[in-house]
């Protein structure tokens, strides 16, 4: 089985995620795209773990999952607060930083 | 050389009294003028004592020297504050303190109604101190201190009534014109130091034989520039007429008898430079000849009595400068004319002041007429001064001016004919304009308003006038008897054995010639102004008269050539500084501001655009690494 | 501890004292600050009396390790030039504090901060003249900007924030170039003689000429901004128009002298060959400064702007004297720094009093003051006479020495410079005529004359101007050995008289 197919899949997933982050406005979708990128990275980690025959990559992917879980908690909390205050989940409405 | 410890008091006394009067303020109002006059008189006493002591000594021992302290000592530039009184400076010291004291006395009455009389006397004392320093300093730098000091005193006194804008402008004009001359003196001192390593008179004199002619000519030219500024000589003459804004005693003391003759002193003092550089000497001659005619011409068209006298002063100093340009033979005559002029011109100025005093400060001679009847003493003293200045024997001017004309003719060749002719022509014009002054003021019909009540001035005013009139009568004869002045000054100006010159014209011929042209001048003036003098100057006059009335366009020339281009240049520089130099600075700031405004647009607040830039950045980074590793 | 360090530390201790004083009493703050500066003045006079005139080396030397890994030391010591400049500083500080008694009250912060800033500034001004370690000098040179920035921006008038920013940016630019040059010199020193910033040690370096030129320019541009030389001058008029009189005095009178002092101490001493290379260019710039400053002074409508431009003209004279590199030029330039400090102080203080009474700084708004406020008018007149270098006042001695010293080496430059004295007469007398003479301008009839405090503040300045005009020897005697030392470093001698005996 060719190892590069896994990596291609990982790259495609990452790109889809990245494009999604850049083009979508709904905060939930953006968030999901970020998750997609994280999981694309996880896939790459696991693949390299398999290739190298050790567990370092798998440990890293577990580590990533933990971090992702934390991020989901914090991120969703922010999105909920945002939605409560301005009745919208669009990230473009949160452009106050430019002033 | 003898040393003495008295010289410093000549300067210190009036300086101290001036400072005290200024610092005490109104407290000294009641007695300030008396202190100042007393101080001035005491300097005259010191000067007289020194003069008689000097006569007792002989030859080289006559000069006395006093070293006060080291003033500036840097590297080889070593200048002591030290004083020198020799045969030349004693003439000036006596003139300054003598005429100065008379004018102090006169001013007590003349300024008695002025609120600021104390300040006036403080300035007079300051002037006396500075003028004495000028003639007593033993180096060019010491002289320079007095030189600018009299400029300051002159500025303060011309602008004494500076609440009138015109007077303030006149004071400033005098100072600035003097400063142009001061550039000359500064540069002369620098040349002297660079050439000889010293700036003392004796040091420079000793070094002259070793110096190049070019350097000496440059030195002479700079000294001449200085003299032109201070003595109102062409081309720096324009300030003297305006300087008449000062109170009349000031015009008599500073702008007739003493300060304006400082240029003659400077050139005589530096005779060794001019004797060694014929070019510089010729320049002196040219400047003197031009100014004597210039001043005389301007004098013919002045209706303001003080300005007519000022023009005359300019012209008479032209005679003195001309004489100094004639070499060793001329110095003594220049100083002789300077002293006699000090008497008769100061006397006439005081006379003019006396007339103004009686006429509610009217200065226009066309409004005078027949004043001789109501002010006999003024008229007589003025008349004696008049006879002296036009050179009628045996009055003072006859001896001094005739000697200058005679020496000018004897200068040799075309030069002698030209300068002699100029001096002779000047004598004729002098006779014309002075007769005009006399006729318009003292004779003819009364042209003053009924509000004016001319009366003879108080004795405090006419006594100094009488003393000066006696000087105008007798001084010339005294100075000339047995070549007294020539022999007295001979050791100072290296003029021993100058009597065997080849003569172009015999003295008697010159005298008769001079008297002839003077008679013509007097006759024309009497015929022209005896009757029918209009109270207003006629307007339908020839273009030449108009030009002469505008002081031969001196102010128009300065205005066009110096003032307006200077103002334009100033405006240009101000605009350049604001727009160009500071513009560049502001431009740099502006570029930074514009760039940051543009860069700020990237910071638009949209998370997705930040994400996009991040992605692009990552891609660019990867691409860079990839390309480098390839 | 050296007496120089005591002199530096005392104002700093005074600052601590200022904040310990009970709140609410502004007068006490003022009195305390003046007291501290007067004690500092007394100490500096003691130092001057103990100064040995016969020695050309640094005196009252103190050296302590500061950052030993780079060989940076706290090293101070003074020669004649530094001595007179420090004395000028310690004399001027109490005078400006007394003269500007009420200046601190309209500021952004409290008077306490104002006096603290001035005392901190005094420490730094003394330190910068005394520093013999190039790095220490650099640090103080830059740190001085901070109190001045706050003094202009916090207590000035008009567009004070903008002026303060312009001043800061200009100075930082110069400082940056100087930092680069300091580091460059250090690297060369490390290769040749080991890590040191000691100015005497650095003066013995052998630097190839291209590098030396670059390093020289780094220092010189910083100094030419500080002592504004055309065309780097435009911050000065802006700052002078916005700063309070006291700040202006310290800024133009003392701080700007760091520039000309630095040219002597660092530019010529460390890089003599480069100094020779650039001398013609610098002399031309000095002459332009003299004439340009004078012309712009004539064209000014604001009295503080006028004083600023006269200073640019005078700094031209100082730079001219320094780079003529003759004993008269160097001593004259050093003396000029002191005299300019006092004559500018007199001008700014009196102009400040005139402006605060009239409520305007426009020259045309004054007029006829001679009759209304005679004492103030006389003070301004004497200050003006000092600016035009009237003989009998000390500025004449220095100006003449500079010109005569220049003439012996560069006659043409001296001739051009001498014409500046006519322009000086014009800008002074025009201002005197407009502001003091003529009829009293409406609105000026009831102005009050100087009060006792103001008379006490201005009297010593005028006394100094007059005294050293007649008797400059005490100062020149101190300066002569230092000038000689600089000339030895630069390897030049005075030209000999052309017509030998």
- Put simply, whether B292 touches C (Cβ < 8 Å) is no
Q: Please give the pLDDT value at position C340.
A: 93
User: Could you tell me the residue ranges of all domains in chain B?
Assistant: 292-538, 557-629
| Torsion angle defined by CA atoms of residues B512, B518, B523 and B528, in that order, rounded to the nearest 10 degrees | 160
Residue B232 neighbours by CB under 8 Å, 6+ apart: B239, B240, B260, B291, B313, B314, B317
Is the Cβ–Cβ distance between C452 and C300 less than 8 Å?
Answer: no
On average, the pLDDT of chain B sits at: 87
Please report the sign of the dihedral spanned by the C-alpha atoms of residue C300, residue C304, residue C306, residue C309. Answer: negative
Is the Cβ–Cβ distance between B167 and B145 less than 8 Å?
Answer: no
CA distances from C181 to B99, C146, C218, C265 (A): 67, 22, 5, 15
Q: Choose among C499, C109, C487, C47: nearest CA to B219.
A: C499
Residue of B169, B215, B570 with shortest CB distance to C299: B570
pLDDT, tens digit (0-9, with 9 covering 90-100), for B25-40: 888 888 889 999 999 9
Is the Cβ–Cβ distance between B195 and B214 less than 8 Å?
Answer: no
Counting one residue from B and one from C, how many pairs have CB atoms under 8 Å apart? 174
pLDDT, tens digit (0-9, with 9 covering 90-100), for B177-231: 899 999 999 999 999 999 998 999 999 988 888 888 999 999 999 999 999 999 9
CA distances from C328 to B78, B186, C10, C334, C478 (A): 10, 15, 35, 10, 13
pLDDT at B374 over 50: yes
CA distances from B162 to B23, B318, C383 (A): 20, 30, 19
Chains A and B touch (3+ CB pairs under 8 A): yes
Rg of chain A (C-alpha set): 16
Residues of B in contact with C476 (CB under 8 A): 72-74
- Put simply, whether C274 touches B (Cβ < 8 Å) is no
- pLDDT confidence of B304, banded at 50, 70, 90? confident
Q: Please give the pLDDT value at position B486.
A: 81
- Put simply, whether B170 touches C (Cβ < 8 Å) is no
For C368, the 3-state DSSP assignment is coil
- Cα B216 to Cα B431: distance, rounded to the nearest angstrom: 38
Residue of C326, C440, C473 with shortest CB distance to B75: C326
Is the Cβ–Cβ distance between C315 and C431 less than 8 Å?
Answer: no
Rg of chain B (C-alpha set): 31
Which residues, given as ranges, of chain A have pLDDT below 50? none
In this predicted model, which residue has the larger pLDDT, B1 or C179?
Answer: C179
pLDDT, tens digit (0-9, with 9 covering 90-100), for C71-90: 888 999 998 899 999 999 99
- pLDDT confidence of B550, banded at 50, 70, 90? confident
Helices and strands, counts by H and E, chain B: 27, 3
Is the Cβ–Cβ distance between B39 and B161 less than 8 Å?
Answer: no
Q: Do B73 and C476 touch (CB under 8 A)?
A: yes
pLDDT, tens digit (0-9, with 9 covering 90-100), for C133-143: 999 999 999 99
pLDDT, tens digit (0-9, with 9 covering 90-100), for C4-35: 899 888 999 999 988 888 777 788 888 889 99
Q: Choose among B177, B170, B320, B173: nearest CA to B236.
A: B177
pLDDT, tens digit (0-9, with 9 covering 90-100), for B494-540: 765 555 455 667 778 888 888 888 888 888 888 888 776 776 777 77
Q: What is the distance in angstroms between the Cα of B240 and the nearest Cα belonging to chain C?
A: 18
- Cα B443 to Cα B368: distance, rounded to the nearest angstrom: 9
Q: Which domain holds residue C427?
A: 272-495
Burial class (CB in 10 A: 0-12, 13-18, 19+), B304: middle
DSSP state of B535: S
- Cα B53 to Cα B58: distance, rounded to the nearest angstrom: 10
Is the Cβ–Cβ distance between C350 and C373 less than 8 Å?
Answer: no
Which of C288, C376, C391, C418 is the best substitution to test chain B (most B C-beta atoms within 10 A)?
A: C391
Strands B2-3 and B64-74: parallel
Residue of A24, A92, A98 with shortest CB distance to B603: A98
Q: What is the distance in angstroms between the Cα of C338 and the nearest Cα belonging to chain B?
A: 16
Residue C396 neighbours by CB under 8 Å, 6+ apart: B145, B148, C389, C390, C469
Is the Cβ–Cβ distance between C72 and C197 less than 8 Å?
Answer: yes
Cα B586–Cα B587–Cα B590 angle in degrees, nearest 5:
85
Q: A-contacting residues of B 590-619, CB under 8 Å? A: 603-608, 611-612, 615
CA C298 to chain centre: 22
- Cα B562 to Cα A98: distance, rounded to the nearest angstrom: 60
Strands C72-78 and B64-74: unpaired
Asked whether residue C349 is domain-assigned, the answer is: yes
Cα A67–Cα A70–Cα A73 angle in degrees, nearest 5:
150
Q: Do B187 and C418 touch (CB under 8 A)?
A: yes
Strands C72-78 and C59-67: antiparallel
pLDDT at B605 over 90: no
With tokens 């030195």, the residue in question is B219
Q: Quick one: chain B helix, strand, coil %, rounded to 5? A: 80, 5, 20
Rg of chain C (C-alpha set): 22
DSSP state of B361: T
Q: Please give the pLDDT value at position B500.
A: 47
Asked whether residue C309 is domain-assigned, the answer is: yes
Is the Cβ–Cβ distance between C259 and C175 less than 8 Å?
Answer: no
- Cα A70 to Cα C417: distance, rounded to the nearest angstrom: 78
Q: Choose among C115, C373, C369: nearest CA to C244.
A: C115
Question: How many domains, chain C?
Answer: 1
- In sequence order, what DSSP letters do the residues of C98-148 get, joined into one string? HHTTTGGGGSSS-HHHHHHHHHHHHHHHHHHHHB-BHHHHHHHHHHTHHHH
In this predicted model, which residue has the larger pLDDT, B589 or B188?
Answer: B188
Looking at chain B, the whole-number percentage of residues with pLDDT higher than 90 is 31
Residues C233-249 as b or e (16 or more Cβ within 10 Å = b): bbbbbbbbbbbbbbbbb
Is the Cβ–Cβ distance between B337 and B423 less than 8 Å?
Answer: no
Contacts 24+ apart (CB under 8 A), C487-491: C487/C325, C487/C326, C487/C327, C487/C330, C489/C203, C489/C268, C489/C269, C489/C272, C490/C268, C490/C269, C490/C272, C490/C275, C490/C276, C490/C325, C491/C272
Mean pLDDT for B39-46 is 93
The 10 Å Cβ neighbour count of residue A52 is: 10
CA A53 to chain centre: 26
Residues of A in contact with B606 (CB under 8 A): 91-92, 95
Q: What is the distance in angstroms between the Cα of B161 and the nearest Cα belonging to chain C?
A: 9
Q: What is the distance in angstroms between the Cα of A92 and the nearest Cα belonging to chain B?
A: 6
Residue in chain B closest to C409 (alpha carbons) equals B194
CA distances from B479 to B332, B487, B566, B606, C87 (A): 10, 10, 48, 105, 57
- In sequence order, what DSSP letters do the residues of B299-314 get, joined into one string? HHT--BHHHHHHHHHH
For C97, the 3-state DSSP assignment is helix
- Put simply, whether B532 touches A (Cβ < 8 Å) is no
With tokens 């045309």, the residue in question is C364
Q: Choose among B521, B545, B350: nearest CA to B439.
A: B521
Q: Do B176 and C422 touch (CB under 8 A)?
A: yes
pLDDT at B385 over 50: yes
With tokens 């006759």, the residue in question is B523
pLDDT at B541 over 80: no
- Put simply, whether B187 touches C (Cβ < 8 Å) is yes
- Cα B427 to Cα B189: distance, rounded to the nearest angstrom: 36
Task: List the chains bordering chain B where 3 or more Cβ pairs fall under 8 Å.
Answer: A, C
Strands B77-85 and B64-74: antiparallel
- Cα B438 to Cα B379: distance, rounded to the nearest angstrom: 9
Contacts 24+ apart (CB under 8 A), B482-488: B485/B332, B485/B333, B485/B335, B485/B336, B486/B332, B486/B333, B488/B87, B488/B332
Cα C179–Cα C185–Cα C191 angle in degrees, nearest 5:
140
């Amino acid at each position: 089985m060719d190892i590069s197919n896994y990596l291609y899949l990982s790259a495609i997933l990452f790109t889809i995620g990245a494009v999604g982050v850049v083009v979508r406005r709904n905060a939930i979708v953006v968030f999901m795209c970020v998750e997609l990128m994280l999981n694309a990275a996880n896939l790459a980690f696991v693949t390299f773990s398999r290739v190298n025959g050790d567990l370092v990559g798998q440990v890293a992917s577990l580590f990533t999952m933990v971090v992702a879980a934390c991020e989901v908690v914090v991120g969703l909390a922010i999105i909920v607060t945002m939605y409560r205050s301005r009745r919208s989940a669009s990230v473009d409405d949160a452009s106050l930083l430019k002033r | 050389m003898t040393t003495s410890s008295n010289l410093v008091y000549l300067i210190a006394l009036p300086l101290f009294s001036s400072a005290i009067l200024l610092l005490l303020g109104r407290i000294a109002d009641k007695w300030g003028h008396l202190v100042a006059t007393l101080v001035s008189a005491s300097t005259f006493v010191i000067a007289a004592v020194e003069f008689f002591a000097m006569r007792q000594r002989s030859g080289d021992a006559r000069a006395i020297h006093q070293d006060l302290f080291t003033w500036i000592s840097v590297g080889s530039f070593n200048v002591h504050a030290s004083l020198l009184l020799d045969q030349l400076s004693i003439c000036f010291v006596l003139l300054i303190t003598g005429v100065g004291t008379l004018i102090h006395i006169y001013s007590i009455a003349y300024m008695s109604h002025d609120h600021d009389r104390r300040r006036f006397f403080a300035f007079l004392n300051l002037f006396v101190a500075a003028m004495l320093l000028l003639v007593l300093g033993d180096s060019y730098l010491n002289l320079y201190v007095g030189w600018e000091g009299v400029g300051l005193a002159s500025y303060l006194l011309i602008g004494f009534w500076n609440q009138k804008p015109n007077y303030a402008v006149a004071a400033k004009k005098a100072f600035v014109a003097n400063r142009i001359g001061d550039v000359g003196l500064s540069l002369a001192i620098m040349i002297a130091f660079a050439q000889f390593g010293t700036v003392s008179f004796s040091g420079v004199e000793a070094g002259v034989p070793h110096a190049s002619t070019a350097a000496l000519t440059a030195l002479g030219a700079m000294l001449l520039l200085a003299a032109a500024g201070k003595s109102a000589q062409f081309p720096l003459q324009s300030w003297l007429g305006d300087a008449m804004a000062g109170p009349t005693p000031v015009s008599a003391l500073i702008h007739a008898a003493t300060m304006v003759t400082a240029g003659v002193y400077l050139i005589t003092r530096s005779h060794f430079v001019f004797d060694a550089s014929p070019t510089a000497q010729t320049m002196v001659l040219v400047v003197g000849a031009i100014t004597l005619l210039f001043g005389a011409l301007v004098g013919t068209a002045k209706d303001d009595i003080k300005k007519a006298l000022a023009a005359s002063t300019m012209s008479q100093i032209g005679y003195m400068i001309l004489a100094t340009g004639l070499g060793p033979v001329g110095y003594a005559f220049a100083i002789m004319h300077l002293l006699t002029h000090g008497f008769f011109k100061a006397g006439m100025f005081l006379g003019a002041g006396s007339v103004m005093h009686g006429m509610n400060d009217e200065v226009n001679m066309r409004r005078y007429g027949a004043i001789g009847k109501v002010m006999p003493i003024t008229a007589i003293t003025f008349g004696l001064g008049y006879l002296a200045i036009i050179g009628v024997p045996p009055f003072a001017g006859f001896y001094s001016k005739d000697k200058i004309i005679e020496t000018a003719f004897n200068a040799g060749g075309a030069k002698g004919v030209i300068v002699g002719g100029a001096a002779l022509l000047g004598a004729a014009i002098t006779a014309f304009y002075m007769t005009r002054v006399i006729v318009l003021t003292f004779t003819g019909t009364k042209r003053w308003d009924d509000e004016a009540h001319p009366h003879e001035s108080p004795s405090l005013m006419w006594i100094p006038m009488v003393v000066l009139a006696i000087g105008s009568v007798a001084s010339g004869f005294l100075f000339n008897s047995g070549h007294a002045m020539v022999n007295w000054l001979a050791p100072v100006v290296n003029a021993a054995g100058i009597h065997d010159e080849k003569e172009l014209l015999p003295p008697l011929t010159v005298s008769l010639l001079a008297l002839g042209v003077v008679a013509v001048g007097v006759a024309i003036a009497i015929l022209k102004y005896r009757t029918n003098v209009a109270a207003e100057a006629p307007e339908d006059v020839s273009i030449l008269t108009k030009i002469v009335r505008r002081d031969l366009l001196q102010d128009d020339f300065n205005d066009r050539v110096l003032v307006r281009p200077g103002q334009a240049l100033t405006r240009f520089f101000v605009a350049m500084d604001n727009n160009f130099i500071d513009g560049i600075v502001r431009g740099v700031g502006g570029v930074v501001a514009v760039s940051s405004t543009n860069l700020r647009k990237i910071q638009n607040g949209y998370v997705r655009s930040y994400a996009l830039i991040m992605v692009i950045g990552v891609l660019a980074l990867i691409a860079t690494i990839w390309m480098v590793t390839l | 501890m050296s007496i120089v360090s005591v002199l530096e530390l005392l104002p700093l201790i005074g600052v601590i004292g200022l904040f310990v004083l009970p709140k609410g009493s502004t007068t006490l703050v003022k009195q305390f600050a003046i007291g501290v500066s007067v004690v500092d003045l007394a100490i500096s006079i003691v130092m001057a009396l103990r100064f040995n005139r016969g020695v050309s080396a640094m005196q009252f030397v103190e050296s302590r390790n500061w950052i030993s890994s780079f060989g940076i030391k706290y090293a101070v010591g003074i020669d004649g030039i530094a001595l007179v400049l420090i004395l000028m500083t310690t004399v001027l500080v109490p005078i400006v504090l007394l003269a500007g008694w009420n200046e601190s009250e309209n500021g952004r912060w409290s008077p306490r901060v104002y006096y603290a800033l001035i005392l901190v500034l005094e420490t730094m001004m003394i330190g910068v003249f005394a520093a013999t370690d190039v790095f220490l000098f650099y640090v103080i040179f830059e740190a001085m900007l901070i109190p001045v920035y706050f003094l202009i921006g916090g207590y000035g008038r008009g567009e004070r924030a903008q002026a303060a920013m312009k001043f800061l940016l200009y100075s930082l630019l110069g400082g940056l170039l100087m930092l680069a040059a300091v580091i460059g010199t250090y690297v060369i020193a490390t290769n040749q003689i080991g890590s040191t910033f000691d100015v005497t040690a650095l003066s013995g370096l052998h630097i190839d000429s291209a590098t030396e030129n670059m390093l020289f320019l780094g220092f010189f541009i910083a100094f030419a901004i500080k002592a504004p030389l055309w065309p780097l001058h435009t911050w000065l008029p802006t700052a002078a128009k916005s700063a309070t009189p006291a700040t202006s005095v310290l800024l133009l009178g003392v701080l700007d002298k760091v520039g000309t002092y630095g040219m002597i101490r660092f530019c010529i001493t460390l890089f003599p060959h480069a100094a020779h290379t650039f001398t013609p260019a610098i002399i031309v710039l000095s002459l332009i400064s003299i004439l340009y400053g004078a012309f712009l002074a004539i064209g000014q409508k604001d009295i503080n702007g006028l004083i600023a431009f006269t200073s640019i003209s005078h700094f031209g004279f100082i730079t001219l004297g320094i780079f003529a590199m003759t004993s008269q030029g160097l001593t004259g330039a050093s003396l000029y720094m002191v005299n300019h400090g006092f004559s500018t102080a007199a001008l700014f203080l009196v102009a400040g009093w005139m402006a605060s009474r009239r409520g305007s700084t426009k020259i045309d708004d004054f007029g006829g003051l001679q009759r209304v406020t005679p004492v103030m008018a006389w003070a301004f007149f004497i200050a003006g006479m000092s600016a035009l270098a009237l003989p009998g006042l000390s500025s004449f001695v220095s100006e003449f020495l500079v010109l005569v010293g220049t003439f012996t080496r560069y006659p043409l430059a001296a001739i051009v410079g001498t014409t500046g004295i006519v322009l000086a007469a014009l800008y002074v007398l025009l201002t005197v005529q407009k502001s003091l003479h003529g009829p009293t301008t409406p609105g000026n009839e009831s102005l009050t004359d100087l009060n006792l405090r103001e008379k006490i503040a201005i009297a010593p300045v005028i006394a100094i101007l007059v005294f050293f005009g007649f008797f400059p020897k005490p100062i020149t005697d101190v300066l002569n050995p230092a000038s000689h030392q600089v000339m030895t470093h630069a390897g030049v001698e005075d030209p000999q008289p052309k017509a030998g005996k």
